[in-house]
A and B are shown apart, each in its own frame.
Chain A
Amino acid sequence: MVEPGIIKAAQSGDRDALITLLREIETHVYRTAYYILNNEQDAMDAAQEALIRIYTKIGSYEEKAQFKTWVQRIVTNICIDKFRRSKPTVSIDEHDLVFREKQNVEDEVMSSYALQDIRSAIEQLPEHHRTVVVLRYLQDFSYNEIADSLDLPLNTVKSYLFRARQQLQALLHDYQKGGVRG
């Protein structure tokens, strides 16, 4: 993802390198935040927090860990915090939207409808399951990389991922059958 040279330079006080580094990772940081928090504004906030934290703590990154897992660890921690602190709101609007679309659905709309489903389904996953899915599919992390980022044992990562997929699959099955009535 990022050249090791820039990281070293950034760590040894080269401010320009550090800024460049932040620019290179900002999209990845945002993307993770977006899919965990499922809200653009929250994601912007969380991502900015994460970038600032990376800026100030760049010195604490140790080469033995992968840089990308270190970065993702920071952003997932912030997101899980935010997640816990905000009140769980029932997004009635979104569900209404889904049903409305369903009534009007044409074949060509099916693909965006499918997307709504998946996003809604992901939203229903518990925070750690959701995070694992996001790291796996949005960041293309391997089991080990996910384990490093979240500081979880390998087996736990697998179990979260597998369970999440099972849940998603069940939820989508329901959606498609029109079974979910909130």
Chain B
Amino acid sequence: MNCQEVMELMQRQLDDDLEDGEIEVLMNHTRQCPDCAAMLERMKLLSAELTSLPKVVPSYSLVDAIMPELLRIDEQQKQSAALQAAGAIMAGNGNGSASDEAALPRRSQRKRRWTSWSAFGGVVAAGIVAGIFLITYPPNIGLKDSANGNSSFSADSAAESASLLDGMALKNMVKHDGAGGDAPAGDAGVQSLNNESGSGAENEAREGLAENDERDIQSVDQYGESLVAPDEPRSMGAPASIERQGDSEGGPIFETAGGEAVVSPDGQYVANIVQHAVQVTQAADGKLFMETARKNGKLEQLTWSEDGSELTFEVRLEQGAIEKYVISLEDKTERKSSR
């Protein structure tokens, strides 16, 4: 056995990976070879030092530190589930079940409604979960349905992307040009598909998920976003080197994405995130009303104020910092706002 082969034995020895026979071979060699004996000693010393590296602990409880974020995530999920449930139930009630209930005495009527509510809610919630699964995992159906005809991506790349990227990838939509059909292939496939379908029209049905909450939930804490989805910029720019293969990311899909088209409360304007700027077009004729300057990051959280006079959005910079901007419609200006 030569010294090089013995080196391998030495290494494995440090991990207790040798069988008795091999240990003997190693010992025999080092007995006769001073160089290898010296090397073995150094390696053993090194291994001992590595083993005794201090078992550091965090200086404060990390779980406590993230608790606000966890609560926020819970809230979002609850709100989204409730919204979907409410929507479905109102549709259901409209079909006449309400008239039946009106005939019954009040008390049992209330009871009935409660049970049907929770049953409905349960079914709808289950449906939502199934829907989310469909979106984030392979089945191309979900993506295809919401994609336009002019989407040029193969179902394969979409499926692959879908299985590799999590629901958070949906938020990446904002980065791509909603109008163009020339987005890069690969993992951008998912985003562009969503973009395609979103371009030109508000698309509530898109993904059927709660990205709509930018309309309904005005006050979303953006801090959480930066914690939860730090890997987005990376997965955006490096389709080839996706390291999270086995680790499918079914992230908090209920997070608000920077949806493409957001209609103002009075219905007069439509706000869009286009490449790195926000465009506001007139709903009536589609004419461009105003456009912000180009920003150096991802645009998200496009939200109208209650009276429709202002539009806020956020820019997430490369290093993770978030800038908040406010667009004032009457004077067509934008300004940075403090958090």
> Using Cβ atoms and an 8 Å threshold, which residues of chain A touch B62?
26, 29-30, 44, 47-48, 51
Known contacts A30-B58, A137-B50, A168-B46: A162-B63 contact under CB 8 Å: no
**In the complex, A173 Cα to B43 Cα: how many Å?**
11
Known: A49-B227, A80-B243, A165-B43. A40 touches B59 (CB 8 A): yes
Q: Does A169 contact B (CB under 8 A)?
A: yes
Q: How far is the CA of A59 from the CA of B246 in the complex (A)?
A: 14
Which residue of the partner chain, among A23, A31, A49, A115, contacts B63 with CB atoms under 8 Å?
A23
Chain B residues whose CB sits within 8 angstroms of the CB of A118 once the complex forms:
49-50, 53
- At the interface, yes or no: A17 with Cβ under 8 Å from chain B? no
Residue contact B50 to A78, C-beta cutoff 8 Å: no
Answer yes or no: A156 CB below 8 A from chain B CBs.
no
The 8 A CB mask of A42-79 against B (1 = contact, 0 = none) is: 01100111011101110110000100001001100110
Q: How far is the CA of A173 from the CA of B39 in the complex (A)?
A: 11
Task: Tell me whether A52 and B66 are in contact (CB under 8 A).
Answer: yes
Minimum CB–CB distance for B96 against chain A, Å: 34
Q: Which of A151, A158, A173 contacts B245 (CB 8 A)?
A: A151
Chain B residue contacts of A19, Cβ below 8 A: 63, 70
Tell me, yes or no, whether B309 is within 8 Å of chain A by CB: no
Q: Is the CB of A138 within 8 A of B230?
A: no
A22 within 8 A of B: yes
Q: Which chain A residues lie closer than 8 Å to B42 at the CB level? A: 169, 173
The verdict on A56 contacting B234 (CB below 8 Å), with A30-B57, A151-B245 known, is no
Asked if A56 and B251 sit within 8 Å, CB to CB, the answer is yes
From B42, B63, B66, B231, residue with most partner A Cβ within 10 Å: B63
Task: Name A24-46 residues within 8 Å CB distance of B.
Answer: 26-27, 29-31, 34-35, 40, 43-44
Assess whether A138 is in contact with B53, with CB atoms less than 8 Å apart: yes
Query: Are A56 and B53 touching (Cβ within 8 A)?
Result: no
- Give the contacts of B221-276 with A (CB-CB under 8 A): 227-228, 230-231, 234, 243-252
B51 within 8 A of A: yes
**A7 near B: Cβ within 8 Å?**
no
Assess the A77–B244 pair: CB atoms within 8 A: yes
Q: Which of B7-15, B103-111, B322-330 contacts A (4 or more CB under 8 A)?
A: B7-15
| A44-B58, A162-B11 given; A78·B231 CB < 8 A | yes
Q: Would you call B46 and A169 a contact (CB within 8 A)?
A: yes
* Complexed CA–CA distance, A179 and B194 (Å): 58
B61 touches A85 (CB 8 A): no
Determine whether B130 belongs to the interface, using a CB cutoff of 8 Å to chain A: no
Q: With the chains together, A162 CA to B243 CA distance in Å?
A: 23
In the bound complex, do residue B58 and residue A143 qualify as a contact, i.e. CB atoms below 8 Å apart? Answer: no
User: Cβ of A51 and Cβ of B228 under 8 Å apart?
Assistant: no
B61 contacts across to A, CB distance below 8 A: 23, 26
Mask: chain B, 160-181; 1 = CB below 8 Å from A; 0 = not: 0000001000000000000000
Say yes or no: A34-B56 contact (C-beta < 8 A), given A47-B62, A143-B17, A172-B46: yes
Q: How many residues of A contact B (CB 8 A)?
A: 54
Whole-angstrom CA separation of A22 from B49 in the bound complex: 30
A22 CA to B252 CA, complexed, in Å: 17
Bitwise, A123-164 to B at CB < 8 A (1) or not (0) is 000000000010011100011000000010000001001100
Measured CB to CB, the nearest residue on chain B to A56 is B252
- Within 8 Å CB of A94, what residues of B? none
How many angstroms from the CA of A57 to the CA of B168 in the assembled complex?
12
CB <8 Å contact, B63 and A22? yes
Establish whether residues B57 and A73, one from each chain, have CB atoms under 8 Å apart when the complex forms. Answer: no
Report the bound CA distance from A138 to B51 in whole Å: 7
- Could you tell me which B residues sit within 8 Å of A by CB distance? 8, 11-12, 14-15, 17, 42-43, 46-47, 49-51, 53-59, 61-63, 65-66, 69-70, 73-74, 166, 227-228, 230-231, 234, 243-252
A-B contact pairs, 30 of them (CB 8 A): A15-B74, A19-B63, A23-B61, A27-B57, A30-B56, A30-B58, A35-B53, A44-B62, A47-B58, A47-B62, A52-B227, A53-B251, A55-B66, A56-B73, A56-B228, A56-B251, A56-B252, A57-B166, A60-B247, A73-B246, A77-B243, A77-B244, A78-B231, A81-B230, A114-B49, A118-B50, A143-B17, A162-B8, A165-B43, A168-B46
Shortest Cβ-Cβ A-B pairs, 8 listed: A137-B50, A162-B11, A30-B58, A26-B62, A22-B63, A56-B252, A23-B63, A169-B46
